[in-house]
């Protein structure tokens, strides 16, 4: 997803930016977002005074959470941020320097589809819902809460990373992701407030009361309680874990509940940048490693302040496997019920060549039976999680091929690889088994002996953390990462993306 570069749009927006805080004001167009209100929105919030007051009451709680749990140390700096101004395909975002607390978070849904119909499940063909059916109220609320919980969690995980940013370019990308995760939280909170009454308001409050890694009130999903202590972890998180977000949002975009579908549709537009940060960032890490390997004719590049390829592979193994767990168990009654009811589909549902009802259909999946891999047939309706996971794995593999081309182009004969999907799993059919990255099933003893070769050790993580020295001079990069090939929104790489 590329940034808007239409000069006409930029000129049209010059009247929006006023005052030292660079806030967007008085912007409203047919497909656009109204910035004249206290809460920017394109859902005509002013027409529902009760809902507006409830959200305005939640707004200062969000501001307090951002101040206490958001990025540390840069709240008073001006950041070159992208702000959504329209939900259309073209000219949808504007770029300007803005302080983080002044960023205009809001509520944005994509445009409604005329006579939208349910495309899967037992209610296939019926009109999509504009309100929550009573029989699905609990299930829909749970889906929205789990998705909403991931958004502030990642901000909390990344809140200290600004102190070790490898460049101003990267620092800006971190903050862009952070503010958009905050906006995605707003997206889910709006749905809870607008459609779930007091229960929804209580759940919206609870989204700010749980915190990543908190022993008493942790985030709902395990991956969002892991520490993100270094930028290498951050880049892999944005590639692998934000990509899980892409597929979860894509599955919810298919929902029969139309406000949820339209919310997720617009969130996917913003999510694309998060995955770009990870994909391009790791490419830059690999490029820098290749440069040093070739310059000094050695595989042992740690003494030169860059990340060696075996360590990169261990980080891939860890972040990929943790992200696979986010899809849930390979066989799932809950997922089957969600699908049958039309609550959550598959990514690009219309791309599947079946009846989109799945009753009576069988699907083959790989399981461990008596210590060996076997192909087992399961009712297709029970393995929609696994179908979603397969789409995700195929997408992750595309990035691996791009990273390996960097190695090939630099004459390095080593290749990076995704581990087997049964490796290091804590959720699902494989969690009771020890599976190596190449798919071999091993004993407890062998697993424990080989584990330091598969996953980052404390020494590995300590080395990576030792490289995390901040670089704040425009255009300069830390020792372990190559510069990007281009800047943001046609700006040069050496642009002052963060005004320090």
pLDDT in tens, 223-265: 899 889 999 999 999 999 999 999 999 999 999 999 999 999 9
Alpha-carbon span 310 to 234, nearest angstrom = 18
**C-alpha–C-alpha distance, residues 282 and 403, integer Å:** 8
**What is the distance between the alpha carbons of residues 235 and 478, in angstroms, rounded to a whole number?**
14
Q: What is the pTM of this model?
A: 0.92
Q: Identify whether 1 is part of a domain.
A: no
Q: What is the pLDDT of residue 17?
A: 31
Contact in structure between 244 and 321 (CB atoms under 8 Å): no
Report how far residue 163's alpha carbon sits from residue 471's, in angstroms, rounded to the nearest whole number: 9
Residues whose CB is less than 8 angstroms from the CB of residue 149 and which lie 6 or more positions away in sequence, other chains included: 207, 210, 219, 220, 221, 224
Q: Report how far residue 499's alpha carbon sits from residue 363's, in angstroms, rounded to the nearest whole number.
A: 54
Q: Which two tokens stand for residue 63?
A: 């501001």
Note whether residue 2 is domain-resident: no
Token pair, residue 387, equals: 């179908």
- For residue 31, the model assigns a pLDDT of 56
Name the residue among 166, 86, 264 with its Cα closest to residue 174.
166
Q: Residue 43, CB half-sphere, CA atoms under 13 Å: how many?
A: 23
For residue 209, give the CATH number of its domain. 1.10.620.20
Q: What's the CA gap between 470 and 181, in Å, rounded?
A: 24
Low pLDDT (below 70) residues in the chain: 1-32, 89
Domain that holds residue 124: 7-499
Cα–Cα distance list, 126 to 115, 174, 299, 342, 426 (Å): 10, 42, 60, 10, 38
Beta bridge partners of 450: none
Size (the chain), residues: 500
Residue 64 resides in a domain: yes
Domain-located, residue 35: yes
- Tell me the per-residue pLDDT of 203-226, one tens digit each, with 9 for 90 and over: 999 999 999 999 999 999 988 998
* Owner of token pair 């006409």: 8
Of the candidates 73, 211, 99, the one whose C-alpha atom is nearest the C-alpha of residue 155 is 211
Q: Which residues, including other chains, have CB under 8 Å from residue 63's CB and lie 6 or more apart?
A: 101
The pLDDT value recorded for residue 10 is: 32
Per-residue pLDDT, 34: 82
CA distance 59 to 102: 13
Whether 291 maps to a domain, the answer reads yes
Helices then strands, each counted (H, E), the chain = 13, 9
- Please report, for residues 331, 395, 429, the alpha-carbon distance to residue 365 in angstroms, rounded to integers and kept in the order given: 9, 19, 11
Beta-bridge mates of residue 96: 81
Q: How far apart are CA 103 and CA 82, in angstroms?
A: 10
First vs last C-alpha separation in the chain: 28
| Predicted local confidence at residue 24, as pLDDT | 53
Backbone angles phi, psi at 331, to 5 degrees: -115, 130
Q: Which residues contact 89 (CB under 8 A, 6 or more apart)?
A: none
Give how many domains the chain has, as a whole number: 1
Q: Which three-class secondary structure state does DSSP give residue 499?
A: strand
- Strands 93-99 and 362-369, bridge-based pairing: unpaired
């Amino acid at each position: 997803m590329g940034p808007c570069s239409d000069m006409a749009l930029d000129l049209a927006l010059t009247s929006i930016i006023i005052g030292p805080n660079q806030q967007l004001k008085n912007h409203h167009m047919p497909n656009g977002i109204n910035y004249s209100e206290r809460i920017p929105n394109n859902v005509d919030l002013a027409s529902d005074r009760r809902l507006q007051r409830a959200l305005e009451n939640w707004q200062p709680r969000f501001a307090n959470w951002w101040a206490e749990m958001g990025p540390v140390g840069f709240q008073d700096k001006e950041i070159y941020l992208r702000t959504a101004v329209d939900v259309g395909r073209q000219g949808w975002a504007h770029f300007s320097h803005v302080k983080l607390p002044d960023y205009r978070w809001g509520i944005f849904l994509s445009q409604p589809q005329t006579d939208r119909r349910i495309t899967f499940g037992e209610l296939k063909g019926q009109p999509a819902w504009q309100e929550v059916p009573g029989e699905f109220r609990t299930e829909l609320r749970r889906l929205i809460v789990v998705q909403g919980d991931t958004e502030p969690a990642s901000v909390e995980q990344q809140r200290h990373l600004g102190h070790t940013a490898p460049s101003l370019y990267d620092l800006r990308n971190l903050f862009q992701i952070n503010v958009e995760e905050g906006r995605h939280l707003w997206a889910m909170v709006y749905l809870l407030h607008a459609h779930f009454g007091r229960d929804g308001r209580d759940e919206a409050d609870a989204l700010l009361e749980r915190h990543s890694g908190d022993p008493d009130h942790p985030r709902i999903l395990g991956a969002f309680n892991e520490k993100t202590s270094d930028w290498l972890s951050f880049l892999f998180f944005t590639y692998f874990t934000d990509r899980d977000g892409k597929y979860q949002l894509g599955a919810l975009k298919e929902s029969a509940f139309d406000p949820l579908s339209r919310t997720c549709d617009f969130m996917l537009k913003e999510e694309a940048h998060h995955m770009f940060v990870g994909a391009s960032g790791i490419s830059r890490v690999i490029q820098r490693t290749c440069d040093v390997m070739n310059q000094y004719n050695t595989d042992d590049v740690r003494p030169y302040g860059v990340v060696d390829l075996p360590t990169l592979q261990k980080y891939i193994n860890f972040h990929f496997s943790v992200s696979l767990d986010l899809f849930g168990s390979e066989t799932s009654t809950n997922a089957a019920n969600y699908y049958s009811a039309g609550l959550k589909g598959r990514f690009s549902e219309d791309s599947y060549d079946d009846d989109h009802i799945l009753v009576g259909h069988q699907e083959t999946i790989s399981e461990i039976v008596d210590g060996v891999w076997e192909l087992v047939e399961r009712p297709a309706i029970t393995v929609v999680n696994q179908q979603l996971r397969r789409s995700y794995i195929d997408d992750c593999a595309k990035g691996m091929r791009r990273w390996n081309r960097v190695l090939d182009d630099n004459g390095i004969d080593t290749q990076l690889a995704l581990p087997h999907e049964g490796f290091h799993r804590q959720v699902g059919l494989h969690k009771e088994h020890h599976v190596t990255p190449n798919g071999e099933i091993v004993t407890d003893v062998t697993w424990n002996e080989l584990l330091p070769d598969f996953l980052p050790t404390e020494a590995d993580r300590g080395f990576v953390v030792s490289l995390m020295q901040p670089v704040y001079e425009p255009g300069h990069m830390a020792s372990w990462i190559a510069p990007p090939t281009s800047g943001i929104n046609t700006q040069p790489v050496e642009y002052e993306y963060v005004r320090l």
